[in-house]
Structure 1
Amino acid sequence: MKGILDENGRSGLFLNPDERFYVELENGLETETILHWHGQIPPNLQDGVPDSPRPVMQVGERRTYDFAATPGTHWMHAHIPAQEMELLAAPLIVRRTEDLTADRQEVTLMLHDLSFRPAAEVLADMTGGAAMEGMGHDMSGHDMAPTGMMDLNDFAFDAYLANDRTLDDPEVVRVEKGGRVLLRVINGAAATVFWLDTGALSARAVATDGNPIRPVSGMRFGLAMGQRLDLELDLPPEGGAFPILALREGAVERTGLILATPGARVDRLANTAVDPHPAFSADLSQEAKFSAVSPLPDRNSDRIDNLMLGGSMMPYRWTIDGQGWGRHRPVEARVGERVVLTFHNMSMMAHPMHLHGHHFQVVALNGRKVSGAIRDTVHIPPMSMVSIALDAGEAARWMLHCHHMPHLATGMMTEFVISA
Structure 2
Amino acid sequence: MTLAQTGIMRPFLLAQAAMSPAAPSPGSKADYTLRIAPVTVELAPSHILSTIGYNAIAPGPVLRMREGKPITVDVVNDTDTPELVHWHGMLIPPEVDGTQEEDSPPVPPRGSHRFQLTPGPAGSRWYHSHAMAMDDLHKGAYTGQFGFVFVDGGNDPGHYDQELFLALRDWEPFFTATMEDDDDDTHNGPFLEKPAILNTDPNGLEVSSMIYSINDKALGSGDPIRVREGQRLLIHFLNASAIENRRIALAGHKMKVIALDGNPVPTPQTLDSIFLGAGERIDVVIEMNLPGVWVLGSTEKIVRDSGLGVVVEYAGQPRRPQWVDPPKVSWDYTLFGAPNAISPAPQQTIELIFEKIPGGMGKFNSWLVNGKPYPHEREFLLQQGTRYRLVMRNRTDDAHPMHLHRHLWELAEINGKKTSGIIKDTVVVPYYGRAVVDFTANQPGLALFHCHIQQHMDYGFKALFRYS
TM-score bracket for the superposition, by shorter chain length: 0.7 to 0.9
Cα separation, 2, equivalents of 1:104 and 1:331: 47
Partner of 2:400: 351
Q: SS of the residue aligned with 1:382?
A: coil
Partner of 2:414: 365
Runs of 5+ consecutive residues of structure 1 not aligned to the other structure:
117-121, 127-131
TM-score by length of 2: 0.75
Partner of 2:309: 256
Partner of 1:184: 236
Cα separation, 2, equivalents of 1:140 and 1:341: 26
Partner of 2:384: 335
Cα separation, 1, equivalents of 2:316 and 2:461: 50
Partner of 1:30: 80
Alpha-carbon shift at residue 103 of structure 1 (Å): 3.5
Alpha-carbon shift at residue 351 of structure 1 (Å): 0.7
CA contact (8 A) 2:122 2:150 kept: yes
Alpha-carbon shift at residue 156 of structure 1 (Å): 3.1
Partner of 1:78: 129
Aligned in 2, Cα 1:53/1:233: closer, same or farther, shift over 3 Å? same
CA contact (8 A) 2:401 2:453 kept: yes
Q: SS of the residue aligned with 2:371?
A: coil
1:109 aligns with 2:166: yes
Cα separation, 2, equivalents of 1:16 and 1:86: 28
Cα separation, 1, equivalents of 2:465 and 2:155: 34
Aligned in 2, Cα 1:140/1:417: closer, same or farther, shift over 3 Å? closer
Alignment of 1:94-173 (within 5 A): 94-99=151-156, 101-115=158-172, 122=174, 125=175, 132=177, 137-139=178-180, 141=182, 145-147=188-190, 154-173=206-225
Cα separation, 1, equivalents of 2:372 and 2:299: 33
Alignment of 1:259-298 (within 5 A): 259-265=312-318, 267=320, 281=330, 285-291=331-337, 298=343
Aligned in 2, Cα 1:314/1:373: closer, same or farther, shift over 3 Å? same
Aligned residue among 90, 99, 112 for 1:49: 99
Runs of 5+ consecutive residues of structure 2 not aligned to the other structure:
1-50, 133-138
TM-score by length of 1: 0.83
Cα separation, 1, equivalents of 2:71 and 2:350: 33
CA contact (8 A) 1:356 1:376 kept: yes
Partner of 1:318: 367
CA contact (8 A) 1:350 1:381 kept: yes
Aligned in 2, Cα 1:251/1:4: closer, same or farther, shift over 3 Å? closer
Amino acid at match of 2:91: I
Partner of 2:65: 15
Aligned-pair identity (%): 23
Aligned in 2, Cα 1:328/1:220: closer, same or farther, shift over 3 Å? farther
Alpha-carbon shift at residue 11 of structure 1 (Å): 2.0
Partner of 2:449: 400
Cα separation, 1, equivalents of 2:140 and 2:166: 20
Cα separation, 2, equivalents of 1:293 and 1:27: 48
Aligned in 2, Cα 1:211/1:250: closer, same or farther, shift over 3 Å? farther
Q: SS of the residue aligned with 2:208?
A: coil
1:152-178 Cα distance to aligned partner (Å, 9 max, x none)? x95430311210221141551223321
Alignment of 1:294-305 (within 5 A): 298-305=343-350
Cα separation, 2, equivalents of 1:239 and 1:12: 29
1:56-102 Cα distance to aligned partner (Å, 9 max, x none)? 21022222222133211111100024321112111111234343532
Q: SS of the residue aligned with 1:101?
A: coil
Aligned-residue RMSD, C-alpha: 3.3
Alpha-carbon shift at residue 28 of structure 1 (Å): 2.5
Cα separation, 1, equivalents of 2:321 and 2:122: 36
Cα separation, 1, equivalents of 2:441 and 2:235: 31
CA contact (8 A) 1:50 1:56 kept: yes
Aligned in 2, Cα 1:97/1:263: closer, same or farther, shift over 3 Å? farther
Partner of 2:26: none
CA contact (8 A) 1:308 1:322 kept: yes
Aligned residue among 243, 258, 274 for 1:221: 274
